[in-house]
Structure 1
Amino acid sequence: MSSNIDKLVLSYLQRHPYSKPREIADGLGFSIVTVRYALLRLRERGLVVRTSKGYIARSQAKMEAMREGTEDIHTHSIGDLSKEISELKERIAELEKTLEDALESLSKLEKEMSELRVFIKALQSQASGRQQRQRDQFLEKLSQERLMTIAEARKEASKQMESLEYYVDRGEVVIVGDFVVDKQFYESLVSRMPIKVEDMNTLSAKEKILIEAMISEGLVYIDKGKEIKPI
């Protein structure tokens, strides 16, 4: 990559002698730092020379020396090169310090973010625990009651800061007519069907209410007056 940049810089100087680093950078679309490093490499290889007017390719430097009658271009270039290297070292030191400060700030920010994530997770866990306890209280009551009217269920659910629809959507309760039914109670009764009509007297009061509601809603039917069967 650096070899290609050096070639472009050298070619530019051959076409535009006495160019300064900023002019070369603007002309080639490179950063000033990239151009300076390329010039350093080219000077070390003896391909370019720095003059009071700017940089020139080596062949042009010889012509300049003849015109000015000087024999010390190389010595002068070494002095300028040392100065430029010193300036670059200072700039690199500044960049390293800036990077070090940025990394330190980033480390602090990452630590704060980590602590914030732990805090948020704890809050979410607490909120989830409260919601779970609230839902359990409603479902526990429904499990004990077996079934409630919709009005009763709405009232109980509202005590837990939830709506009845919340439990319906989660499939935790079953709506049958005007009743909200405990899911296990409902599934247990359905699993025992068909139930003989003559065995109705052996059912609990809540089971009888549920069967009547299911018949009314068309979920079950009485087959030939003998058995209660699901549709």
Structure 2
Amino acid sequence: EHTGLVPEQDDPLILVSTLSGSFVGIGQRTGEIRWQQYNEPVVKVPLDITERSAPMFLPDPKDGSLYLYGAEFEVLKKLPFTIPQLVANSPCRSSDGILYTGRKIDTWFSIDPVTGEREQLLGFQEAESTCPLDIQDAIFVGRTEYNIIMVDSKQKERKWNITFYDYSAAKNDESIDEYDLVHFTTSSTGRVVTLDRRLAMVLWELDLDSPVIGIYSISKDGLVTVPFTSVAEGTLDNLLQ
């Protein structure tokens, strides 16, 4: 659902990243989906069902934080490092005897803001077969793939590997101070609700079919992280009443 007709030049893009790997261009004020790209899921954690007693490493897709879950722990245990930090310090060993090794692969894309077509500009992996883009106002997007492999030095049959994808975006930007929208998402579905901060009214609601893990505005220097609040489904329903 979205309200009102706003010319595209008065309705700048926000880019929304979802857990399933979608990257969606949406009009800030109308909620109009202009285009959608489909990428690899943001996190991949292969599960070994033969090792049911082994703890599981669970990544937070929003920032790469790591949690440990297993029979040895009564609650989900948050580890004191993120996947990007592990990769930066690899190879390393934790105090409980887990050995870590990791790598990161960076790729640059240019994206046509109108059509969503993209071209790989720079990367160590073989480029996708896409048409070259000749666009004055192309959006330049950096995406990083983090891989970590872990083994328990005390029980060498216990091995894990995790893949995590992240977009390169500025965390603090003057443009965010002037940003007059507030975004709410649900933590388990793809619903997004956007309000106008000044008018105190709901502008639009969308369902992107997968939980939102990142929202970005576009500046002359690239992507800028836009804050959003994840709430329970019922809380979002109350907000819309």
Band of TM-score, shorter chain? under 0.3
- TM-score, length-scaled by structure 2: 0.16
More relative contact order, 1 or 2 (CA 8 Å, 6+ apart): 2
Structure having the higher helix fraction is 1
Larger-gyration structure (1/2): 1
**Structure 1 or 2: larger strand share?**
2
